[in-house]
Structure 1
Amino acid sequence: MEFGRLFTAMITPFDNKGNVDWPTLEPLVEHLLATGSEGLVVAGTTGESPTLKTEEKLALFKRVKEIAANRAVVIAGTGTNDTAYSEELTQQAVKTGVDGFMAVTPYYNKPSQEGMYHHFKTIANAASSLPLMIYNIPGRCIVNLDADTLLRLTEIPNITSVKEASGDLDKIAYVIDKSPDDFYVYSGDDSSTLPIMSIGGSGVVSVAAHVIGNEIRMMIDNFAAGETLKAAAGHRRLLSQMKACFMAPNPAPVKGLLEQIGIGTRMTRAPIIPLNEVELKQLEEWFSLA
């Protein structure tokens, strides 16, 4: 199952007391859908999943799906570094009506390749045939899911895609070449979207799409339509803004930008801290929002 080309790894809005800001959820979802997102990843790491309680995650899955309905694919972030908990959360999340799941490589534990294979197979089995997207991000998780391990996992029918943030284009090309035609590779870094699409990738699971979604969607659509020079020009034009979204630990910058356009607050949960006024002013200048 191909989910689409532009997914947004959605923030979790918090109010000034640090609680989930439920009233902001609807305008946030509507904003993302209006600016090109075809799908939303809920309670992933951009959604500050390590700080969310199980009850909050399940409520977020359900509410976002209610808002998006059939207008976008909703993917629940259920991966953690605890296989049994990830399995249980996935089983519970099936009941919320989501369209699929994303699971990150287990962080901190440093499991072997066989351990990661078992981890993802267990989550896939818990997903009740709904599709599972694997998320490989060695920069945050230390472990790197090897290409051959990933290819073994593609043999599991409902493991249908991977979000790749390793930056290893040789490995990614190998996976695209050797995996089934109905297995899809997405960039896990905004700035790698076009390079990965150029070797056969499907699109991106984006952070920057919170604020430049239309522009990213245009770049993707231009490439898909064979307008490669236009896509390349779009990539170069957007690159500094994509990078600016990570001037501080994610998702503090995009939350600051969203606050400036009237969607929620810049509030994060510790240990991530909100942007200060100096940082926010710098970000506003980069995005011409000042």
Structure 2
Amino acid sequence: MKLQGILPALVTPFDAAGAVDHQQLADILEYQLKAGVNGFVPLGSTGEYYALTNEERRQVLKTVKTVVGDRGTLIAGANGSCTREVLEQVRQTVEAGYHNLLIAPPYYALPSQEELVGHYQAILDEFSDINVVLYNYPVRTNVEVGFSVLEAFKDHPRVVGIKESSGSVLRAVEIGHRYKEQYQLSCGSDDVAFDFFMWGASSWICGPANCFPDQIVDFYRKFSSGDLRGAQDVMRTLFPVMASMEEGKFIQKVKYGCELAGFKAGNARMPLQPLTPEEKAAFRQVFEASQR
């Protein structure tokens, strides 16, 4: 399985009543496909998977697979607070027709590195028809996918890559240096994407691609063609809006960015609160500047 190009970490749009809006989801998918993205990652943190019921997760997976078909790579998030719960999520994801999964450490349990190896091994033992992309996002899980975990699975044919969302360029450098032949590196830290690609990332699992996919695809095309100056110029234009997202209320800002792009993504589910009028005005200013 190739981890390549721009893979939006999909939002989950909600209607005015708070239900999943599948038509808006389909419209957002088509908008991003038209921009030239390479695939999608539903049910990640940007998609508020933690706030969805199991039935809502199944229906989101169904909509994404139906709309996208064979037009892009699909990698589904399947996460939870313990191994039992994650196995249940993986099972329903496989039943929905997905075989590439993005799996982070269980949150709240705080497993050791040895226990984390056991967690991933249990998933791989239970399901022989899946590819796993490790997901390092310690700010949300409080557990790092450390190098001992990478070492444990470096020769496993179905552990194909890692989404690195620690924000550490040094981690990207070390992964690229140590495991260039074993793991495909995917950028999960939007504001340092240029640096990640310089150090060997082949893809970018990107929340902001929900609301300005044209610029992000343009960056990738320029970088891939060897136009590093052009790619850097695109990132320079995008940096203020990405920095705003990274400052806080990331999901709310991605959803508001979708609204500014013409889609009604709705509010994030509680406990997250909507942006204030002042926060909207400040974000709109940097968003509009990124479109010029």
Aligned partner of residue 102 in structure 1, secondary structure: strand
What per-residue deviation string (whole Å, max 9, x for no partner) do you get for residues 108-151 of structure 1?
22110011111122223344322111110112211111123213
Aligned partner of residue 110 in structure 1, secondary structure: coil
Aligned partner of residue 12 in structure 1, secondary structure: coil
Aligned partner of residue 205 in structure 2, secondary structure: strand
Aligned partner of residue 288 in structure 1, secondary structure: helix
Q: Which residue of 1 aligns with 2:128?
A: 128
CA RMSD of the aligned region, Å?
1.9
Q: Which residue of 2 aligns with 1:47?
A: 47
What per-residue deviation string (whole Å, max 9, x for no partner) do you get for residues 138-186 of structure 1?
1221111112321322322211011001233333222222326252001
Q: Which residue of 1 aligns with 2:202?
A: 202
Q: Structure 1: how far apart are the matches of 2:74 and 2:276?
A: 32
Contact 1:207/1:245 (CA < 8 Å) preserved in 2?
no
1:157 maps to 2:157: yes
Shift of 1:2: 1.4
Shift of 1:45: 0.8
Q: Which amino acid aligns with 1:79?
A: N
TM-score (norm 2): 0.93
| Structure 1 segment 78-227 matched on structure 2, within 5 A | 78-179=78-179, 181=181, 183-227=183-227
Structure 1: give runs of 5+ residues left out of the alignment. none
Q: Structure 2: how far apart are the matches of 1:139 and 1:62?
A: 30
Q: Which amino acid aligns with 1:179?
A: Y
Contact 1:3/1:39 (CA < 8 Å) preserved in 2?
no
Contact 1:266/1:275 (CA < 8 Å) preserved in 2?
no
Contact 1:101/1:127 (CA < 8 Å) preserved in 2?
no
Q: Which residue of 2 aligns with 1:244?
A: 244
Q: Structure 1: how far apart are the matches of 2:126 and 2:42?
A: 18
TM-score (norm 1): 0.93
What per-residue deviation string (whole Å, max 9, x for no partner) do you get for residues 232-251 of structure 1?
22222211121223454221
Q: Which residue of 2 aligns with 1:264?
A: 264
Q: Structure 1: how far apart are the matches of 2:54 and 2:255?
A: 22
Structure 2: give runs of 5+ residues left out of the alignment. none
Structure of greater relative contact order (alpha carbons < 8 Å, 6+ residues apart): 2
